[in-house]
Amino acid sequence: MPLFNKPFRALIIGSSGTIGSALVSALESHPSCHEVIGLHRNSDPVIDYDHLETIQTAYETLEKLRPFDLIINTIGVLHTQQWTPEKRLADLQANQLQQQFLSNAVGPALTIKHFSKLMNPAGGVFATLSAKVGSITDNRLGGWYSYRASKAALNMLIKTASIELHRTQPHLVLVAIHPGTVKSNLSRPFRGDEIGRDPSEAASEILSILGSLEASDTGSFKSYRGEDIPW
């Protein structure tokens, strides 16, 4: 796909986060990126998954600015001040499950519903950050119930949407991408500062993978190294 071989326009959702802001910075210096727009809780327009109506409102505001050739949604939640990933079944709490599904599956799914209509009909990539721990096949350690389940749900939503959108937007590539461990507030409680990669490095790797995708890659689950992750 010749996405990066032409001047292109990009939209980063969750651009105030560690990976999102790194992607914006990388795109601002990208020789083929004509324009990059970032959305977050305090942007104009606002996008906030605690207020799902902001998804449609943001879409309606950006509709006059379309088309975009690249959209990357980086929004996701692993832990909060109130809870951390469950280590055992006894730790399961309804509110944690609900919040994880809201932020990691419901919000991103509704974003795909609306924002896919902003894509360039001539071709483009719409990527949503997922996580390898959302792979059912790859789950060998257990734990992290709500995060794993919400990311597995996200993966199914992306796969299903890719099949439908391929019929009406055949040049759109819709993918899930695992960014790996990045030094950030999300990974810090889990030795992220020790084992994580620099955000700028992660952003460069993600853009490299997305720029190399072909039309046949729609509906796939990619790692930051370009490998296919089993569902």
Q: What was the pLDDT predicted at 81?
A: 87
Taken in order of first residue, the domains within the chain and their CATH numbers are: 3-223 (3.40.50.720)
* The 3-state secondary structure of the chain, one letter per residue: CCHHHCCEEEEEECCCCHHHHHHHHHHHCCCCEEEEEEECCCCCCCCECCECHHHHHHHHHHHHHCCECEEEECCCCCCCCCCCCCCCHHHCCHHHHHHHHHHHHHHHHHHHHHHHHHECCCCEEEEEECCHHHCCCCCCCCCCHHHHHHHHHHHHHHHHHHHHHHHHCCCEEEEEEECCCECCCCCHHHCHHHHCECHHHHHHHHHHHHHCCCHHHCCCEEECCCCECCC
Per-residue pLDDT of the chain in tens (231 residues, 90 and over written 9): 456 668 999 999 999 999 999 999 999 999 999 999 999 999 999 999 999 999 999 999 999 999 999 999 999 999 888 999 999 999 999 999 999 999 999 999 999 999 999 999 999 999 999 999 999 999 999 999 999 999 999 999 999 999 999 999 999 999 999 999 998 766 566 654 665 789 999 999 999 999 999 999 999 999 999 999 999
